[in-house]
Amino acid sequence: MQATFPSLGTENQSPYQVESRREIIALLRGFKEKNQLISMYINNGSEAFITSILDVDDTNNTVIIDSAPNNEANQRIVEASQVFFDGLLDRISIQFSSSRLQRTTFERRPALQMPIPATLIRLQRRENYRINTPVSHPIKCLIPIEIESIAQTARFSLVDISCGGIALLDDHRLLNITVGSRYADCQINLPGIDAIESLLEIRNSQDLTLLNGRTTRRIGCEFVNLSSRTLANVQRYIMNLERERNAKITGIS
C-alpha cells in the first residue's frame, strides 16, 4: 500500500497552524533535545525515511537533519518538489514541509539542511492520547496469523499506544495491510499491567527506511470494541509511562 502524508488535505488544519517563529524554533529544538525520530516523506508519501533533527540555527535560519542511508536516496530528497515531515513530540503530532533541502555536513557527517519552516501544524487529538513506547525495552504485540496454511503467533514491536489503538513494526511483512483487515485474539503484554487482549483492525501502513539502512513497515491498528476493563488498563499503562518519563526529565528518579 502506498502511504500518503498524514492528514495532508484530509482536514481543516488552520486552527492547528503555528506561525510564531519563536514557537516553531522551540518545537523543532524539542525534537533534538528529546532525541525524537521524525518521518520524512517524498513523492507524495510513496517514499518514507526515518530521520532526526541534529541542529536548529536561529541565526542562519537553518534546520539540520540526519541524511538518508545512501546517496541515491539523498539525491531524490534534494530533488523532490516538496518534502513532508511528521513527528510526535509530547504526545502531539507536529507536521511541516520544505521545498528547499540541500546536502551539507554536520560534525563531519553527511546531513541535510533546510530553512526553518515559516509555519507548521500542531495536531493534538485529545480523544486518543498516544505515547511512544520504550525503544530500549520494546513492548510486544502477539498476533495469530497463518503462514502457508499453518497457524502461528507472530510477535511485533510497538511504536506507540493510545486508548484508540497502536502502531507496530512489521519487519517481515507478515500482516495483510488492506485497510479494514482484522486480527482477533491479539495480546499485548504491558509492563506492570495485566496482558490485554483485543481485536485489531488495520487502518494505515507505511514502508520506512531507518537510519541504519534497515527497512521496515509501520502499521497503524485500531482497537475494536475494547472492554471497559481493558480500556482502563491501557489508560493506566499510559499514565504510568508518562509519570516515569516526567520523573526522569525533572530528575526525580
98: domain CATH number?
2.30.110.10
Neighbouring-strand partners of residue 200: 183, 223
Domain co-membership, 52 together with 119: yes
User: According to the model, what pLDDT value does residue 11 have?
Assistant: 40
Domain co-membership, 90 together with 162: no
Neighbouring-strand partners of residue 225: none
Q: Is residue 3 part of a domain?
A: no
pLDDT (mean) for 104-121: 93
Q: Provide the residue range defining the domain that includes 228.
A: 131-250
- pLDDT of residue 126 exceeding 60, the answer is no
Q: Is residue 9 part of a domain?
A: no
Domain co-membership, 170 together with 86: no
Helix (H, G, I), strand (E, B) or coil at 93: strand
Domain co-membership, 118 together with 136: no
Domain co-membership, 135 together with 120: no
Domain co-membership, 148 together with 105: no
User: Is 142:186 a contact under the CB 8 Å cutoff?
Assistant: yes
251 vs 191, more confident: 191
- pLDDT of residue 9 exceeding 50, the answer is no
pLDDT (mean) for 123-141: 76
User: According to the model, what pLDDT value does residue 99 have?
Assistant: 87
Q: Is residue 7 part of a domain?
A: no
Q: Is residue 117 part of a domain?
A: yes
Domain co-membership, 211 together with 137: yes
CATH number at residue 227: 2.40.10.220
How many domains is the chain built from? 2
User: According to the model, what pLDDT value does residue 1 have?
Assistant: 34
User: Is 164:128 a contact under the CB 8 Å cutoff?
Assistant: yes
- Residue that is last in its domain, among 104, 124, 144: 124
User: According to the model, what pLDDT value does residue 14 have?
Assistant: 54
Q: Is residue 4 part of a domain?
A: no
What's the predicted TM-score (pTM) here? 0.59
- Residue that is last in its domain, among 124, 147, 162: 124
Task: Indicate the pLDDT class of residue 231, thresholds 50, 70 and 90.
Answer: confident
Domain co-membership, 184 together with 203: yes
Helices (H), the chain: 21-33, 71-79, 228-250
Total count of residues recorded for the chain: 253
